[in-house]
Amino acid sequence: MADAEPTIVYTDGACSGNPGPGGWAWAESTDRHDSGGAAQTTNNRMELTAVDEAIRSNPGSLVVVTDSTYVKNGLEKWSKAWVRNGWRTKDGKEVKNRDLWEPLVAAVVERPDLEFRWVKGHSGDLMNDLADRLAVAQRDAHRPGGGVDAAGAPGGGGSLADLDPAAQRLERRRRDGRIPDGHLLAVFGQAPPELGGWDANPLSDGIRRRLTEILAAKHEIQTDLVVLSGLRQGAEQLGAEAAIAAGVPLVAVLPYPDPERVWPEGARVHFVELCEAARDVVVLERKRPADREAAGKALGRRDSWLVHAVDEAVLVWDRDDGRYRKLHGSLERRLGDDLWVVEPG
């Protein structure tokens, strides 16, 4: 299973006037980076935005290197008191930039493989200098008459949010080497209790047959079709089995190492068999979660990674189970008519 070294990204923010035009940037290398900005913002907001964008764009094991003492002090000193006081300062005022701080603090708690480091700004560090140049270019581009476009600053990756969903998928694949080549289709859906039970049964057998027919038909049209599955019991495993039966390459996408370790023995054996049948296995996060709540959040991050990576999706859903309504909405917004809902029964 893939278990790469952590990604290391450098972040920086820039602003003129404070408030005024500003820019943010994160960079892993001269070939992989992202940047954006705003016409009216502050330096602190740009520093926080750079970190937030870096975290959201790089699921899995990540080291964020920043030169911002504001970010450093916020994470190391101030945030515990903010959370304890309901995001209020000592004098009772709401914490400035709470909309950016709150998800950042939550990410620190939720992602055990997220690490922060600090570097002195303008000290000759090549990557810190690169992030600074990208942020400054965005700041200047967002001045009146600066002519910002979807591509972002000169030489920068631009903000993914500025691109349409299809262009975002292409750009994500360029930046994220874990996303496989080909026309990608993911299978999501309900768990065994909603699909006839944990043992083999006519309802799940019928869903598997329907998925096999769908994938075989799509493979005739898209010869480079690849099925992505998280291999959770229920619809995801049925989709993986259908891909194998239809002769479509399968890539397993796991949220963290050995997610099956708490399953019954027979289920663990079948999980390993599906992994061995897959063309590749991608593990998004290096560390196992500490408890069930953390595991659920890691699964949510895996779902988000898949939603943003694939060209099509099949959702096995009875349209009544509210747990899948949010996922359906995300898929529909990203994929439009390329989302297929298979209703059990």
Domain ranges of the chain: 7-162, 183-342
> Per-residue DSSP letters for 175-210?
H-TTSPSSEEEEEEE--GGGGT-SS--HHHHHHHHH
Q: Which pLDDT score, from 0 to 100, does residue 1 have? A: 43
Q: Provide the 8-state DSSP code for 76.
A: I
Quickly state the pLDDT bin for 152 (edges 50, 70, 90). Answer: very low
Over residues 167-215, the pLDDT tens digits come to: 777 777 776 778 999 999 999 999 999 999 999 999 999 999 999 999 9
- Dihedral sign, CA of 266, 296, 324, 183? negative
Is the separation of the CB atoms in 24 and 49 below 8 Å? yes
Is the pLDDT at 37 greater than 50? The verdict is yes
Helix and strand element counts for the chain (H, E):
11, 11
Q: Quick one: tokens of 201?
A: 């049964």
Per-residue pLDDT at 281: 95
* Helix axes of 292-309 and 325-335: crossing angle, nearest 10 degrees: 20
Residues acting as catalytic residues: 12-13, 47, 67, 122, 132
Name the DSSP letter for residue 7.
E
Tell me what pLDDT residue 121 has.
Answer: 82
Residue 161's pLDDT is 58
Q: What is the pLDDT of residue 220?
A: 92
Instruction: Tell me the two tokens of residue 273.
Output: 């068999």
pLDDT confidence band for 293 (50 / 70 / 90): confident
Cα gap 234→315, rounded to integer Å: 12
The mean per-residue pLDDT over the stretch 227-247 comes to 96
- Bridge partners of 40? none
Which pLDDT value is given to residue 163?
64
CATH class of 7-162: alpha beta
pLDDT of residue 105: 92
CA distances from 152 to 132, 177, 216, 279 (A): 15, 22, 40, 36
Residue 288's pLDDT is what? 84
Buried b (16+ CB within 10 A) or exposed e, 98-137: eebbeebbebeebbbbbebeeeeeeeebebbbbbbbbbbb
State the average pLDDT over residues 298-302.
Answer: 88
pLDDT score recorded for residue 149: 42
Nearest CA among 181, 219, 158, 162 for reference residue 310: 181
Supply the CATH classification number for the domain 183-342.
3.40.50.450
pLDDT at 2: 45
